[in-house]
Structures are given as structure tokens and as C-alpha cells.
Amino acid sequence: MTVEIGAAVPRSLVEPERMLIDGSWVPARSGQTFPVVDPGTGDEVTRIPEGDAADVDTAVRAARRAFEEERWTGMSSQQRAVVLWRVSDLLEARADELARLESLDVGMPVPAARGMLGEAVNLFRYYAGWADKIHGQSVEIGPGERRLQGITHKEPVGVAGLIVSWNAPLIGVSMKLAPALAAGCTCVVKPSEEASLSVLALVGLLLEAGVPEGVVNVVTGHGPVGAALASHDDVDKVSFTGSTAVGKKIVQAAAGNLKKLSLELGGKSPVIVLPDADLDAVIPGVAAGIFWNSGQICTSGTRLLVHRDIYEDVVQGVAEHAAALKIGYGTESGVDLGPLISQRHLDRVAGFVESGIAEGARIVTGGSRVGDKGYYYEPTVVADADPSMRMIREEIFGPVLGAIPFSDVAEAVAMANDTEYGLAGSVWTRDIATAHTVARKLRTGRIGINVHRAGGVQMPVGGYKQSGWGRENGPEGLDEYLETKSVITLLDR
């Protein structure tokens, strides 16, 4: 593997050692910073502020003032729509720089980053279209001799705390900011400490597009920043994407003022391949479902459940596909997989594979680190896994697929649902009636039929069970940032 030298952080997009509070680029109040590390090389590329609870309080107060002064909601809904559309235009105009910045920060290949950026553009355009279509209903109620007119208003929930994951920051923050702003909220964003650069770049473009000062604020830093945001009594709503373990801590922290929560948490998504499936479609589709972004996607299809009649053919086919994938630095031509996000995460992923082998599974391909610079790990297929194994039950968040055979559809459905998670899944078969029957039985928020990595801004995303609360994308994503108020008027006396 040849690794190119990482690119410099473009100063036109990111202010060194600064974060955005009340329209100004400021250092942390403590003056502390921490390094941004390029996962493709392991080298420090810049430093950003190490915020703390004091910075969070300043940012929340700024967002509250902006909300109470109606800096954003005082604009007409049509004006807000124009601003959000302008954001999408700016994202598109800076696509090359932003994609390289995302690649530098996260490690994903630049073409993949461009694809993610395209989804961010779509999100702002989609919710720009919703901004002037937020309305309630009216109904006449009461007995004939005492008529009442009831109407409902849809209003912004207030100050929203948005806590973003590291695996795809541009689309992750856009999935929260675009609907929150369309609803009329003001926001405080906490990017992941592992990947903050593209989030900082995006909020700078929001200012350029015309979002008023104080409406969107960003505090960078580690876990205490997110904890302070989740527990702050002047935050009305928190949207969090991350692990189930941290999601549970967010729930506890939010209890003080019973703030509203939406949580997109962990996943352990099943991929069910029935005996009549088209293997020419299954093999590349399964590989894309697990190995895209080096498996660092919460909806990745990590549990491969294959009918015994075709089990060896599917496992071997996916393994051969995996072995042919090119691993390398994000700007290198033709790269399919970039690095994992950090040394700590690399060690974690490797530990899951080692535990599976120790419990009796076998590696068909992969299973090793690549090189000694950067955090690269081979796409890995592990066969003959057992549903009780740790690598099958826990979220790995890496390029590791565990394969298990089944004998009939009922057994496959039972194994698929035997998990604390319920975020996504897919069913592969030529029988569309069977596919829909299985899809209805799976306890998960998104099902693909003969596709795994699929969706779009119009389709809601979210989980059953311990994969979270609420939905992002689609009209449901907008509802997460709205309150419903009933107003009743006596018409007759």
C-alpha cells in the first residue's frame, strides 16, 4: 500500500484553534486546544479548541438570546427557506475543498466524501422546501349549543443541542441542522472530538448564507462538552448520534429539565440471503453493505445470515470481493477503503476479530492491520460464527462481517431479531412476497429488499429497541424539532 502525504487544512474553510459562538470565531475560554490527527498517516494536522462546560454555557446563552430575540423566526418562512437553499448552493460550490477536508478528517476516500457531501446538499434543499409548509389544523368541536373552534400551531421547540458522530460528519450534522433550522430552532453543535473540521467549515458557510449570528453555535471538545450540553437547563432538545452506551448517559443527563430527545444509536444489522437470491447481485451488494466507509456506518450489514444451500458460495464470493478492494489514503486514485478513525478504534476492531476466532469462528479473508502508519485494517469475513459470540452480538463499527448459516426463513428471522439493536437490515430473494413478509417480521427501522445501502433524505432513519428514539430525514425528521400547541376559541354562547 502506498500512502500519500496528507493535505493541509484549508484556512479558507476552518479558523485555526477557533470555534463559533454568537457569530464570532473564538478560542476556548481556558485557552486549551487538542490535536486533529489524520487517520491516514497518524500525524497531527492542526489544533482545535478544547471547550468545556463554561464554553457550552456561553454558547447556550447565545442561542437562547437569538431565539428570544427572534433573529431567525422573525424572518418569514420564505426568507428562511431561501437562506437554507443558499447553504446548499455554497456547499455545492465548495464541494472539492469540503470533500478533501472530510477525507482528511475521517479518512474516507475523496469520492465517498463527495457522495456524502451530495447528501448534505440534498438535506438542506429538502428542508428548505419544508420551511414554509409547517402548519397546523383546524376543527370545530363541542356540542351544537356551545360550538368551539380548535386550531393547532406547530412551533419550534427552542434551543437544540446537536451532538454529531465522527464517521460521516458533514451528512451527520446536516441531518440535524437542516430540519432544526427549517423548524425555527436555534442550535448548539458539539462535533465529535475525532472529526470536527468539516462541521466547523459548514457552520462558517451558514453565516455566509445569511443565518443570523447566534442562531448556530459550535463548541468543540471531548465528552464533558456533550455532557454539559445534554444536562444544560436552557437546552430544550438534544439530538444525539453515537453509541448506545453514550445514548443512555444522554438520557440520564437530560432528565433534569425533561428535555426532548432523539437518539440514533448502535446497530447490528442482519443481511438475510434466501436460497433463491441472485448471487450476482448479492455478493457485491453485501460487500457494499458492510465495507463502505471501512464499516464505520451504524447501519452496516454486519451479520450475514445465509441459507445453507448457498452458504459457502455466498461467503466465498463476498470474501473474494473483499480481498480485491483497494486500501489506501483518501486522495489516492482508485481507493475503496480508507483507514479507521484512530489507533484506539483499530485496536477495538482487531479485538473483536480475535475474540471470534478464540470462540471457534474462522477467518475466510482479512483479519490483520495493514502497514504501520495510519490506522488501516483489512476487510474481513469471518465464517461459521455463532449467534452467542461477542463479535455477533456487539457493534464492531469496522470492516468485519460475521457469517452464519440457517435452514429456514423462521430460523433466519429469529436470529435476525435476537439482538438488542434494531436499526437496519436487508433481505435478498427473487420472491417479492416473501421479501415483504420477512421485512414486516424484522424489528428494525429500515429494511432493504435486494439492496442494503439505500435510502435518501425523504426516507426516515431511526431504530427500534436500543438503536434509539425518534427519526431523522423525511417529514418525521422535521417533527423532532417542533412542538404542537392547541388553541380553542368559543364561537357561540
In a domain, 409, yes or no: yes
Q: Is 411 a catalytic residue?
A: no
Buried b (16+ CB within 10 A) or exposed e, 215-238: bbbbbbbeeebbbbbbbbebbbbb
User: Whole-angstrom Cα distance, residue 332 to residue 389?
Assistant: 36
34 and 160 housed in the same domain:
yes
Backbone φ and ψ for 51, nearest 5 degrees, come out as -70, 165
In a domain, 370, yes or no: yes
226 and 296 housed in the same domain:
no
Residue tagged active-site, from 17, 264, 378, 472: 264
In a domain, 252, yes or no: yes
**What residue numbers bound the domain in which 428 lies?**
269-456
CA 336 to the chain's CA centroid: 20
pLDDT in tens, 466-491: 999 999 999 999 999 999 999 999 88
Buried b (16+ CB within 10 A) or exposed e, 7-19: bebeeebbbebbb
In a domain, 375, yes or no: yes
Backbone φ and ψ for 101, nearest 5 degrees, come out as -65, -45
We report the CATH number of the domain holding residue 417 as 3.40.309.10
User: Does the pLDDT of residue 419 top 70, yes or no?
Assistant: yes
Compute the average pLDDT of residues 254-269: 96
Buried b (16+ CB within 10 A) or exposed e, 143-153: eeeeeeeeeee
Tell me, what's the pLDDT at 10? 67
- Mean pLDDT across the chain, nearest whole number? 95
363 and 473 housed in the same domain:
no
- C-alpha pair distances (Å), 63 with each of 55, 163, 192, 213, 455: 12, 15, 20, 9, 32
Q: Are 91 and 3 in contact (CB under 8 A)?
A: no
Tell me, what's the pLDDT at 4? 40
pLDDT in tens, 327-381: 999 999 999 999 999 999 999 999 999 999 999 999 999 999 999 999 999 999 9
Q: What is the DSSP string of 33-47?
A: EEEEEETTTTEEEEE
In a domain, 374, yes or no: yes
371 and 437 housed in the same domain:
yes
Beta bridge partners of 488: 150
In a domain, 3, yes or no: no
We report the CATH number of the domain holding residue 163 as 3.40.605.10
158 and 227 housed in the same domain:
yes
Compute the average pLDDT of residues 175-179: 98
Tell me, what's the pLDDT at 136? 93
Count of domains forming the chain? 2
Strand duo 159-163 + 186-190: pairing: parallel
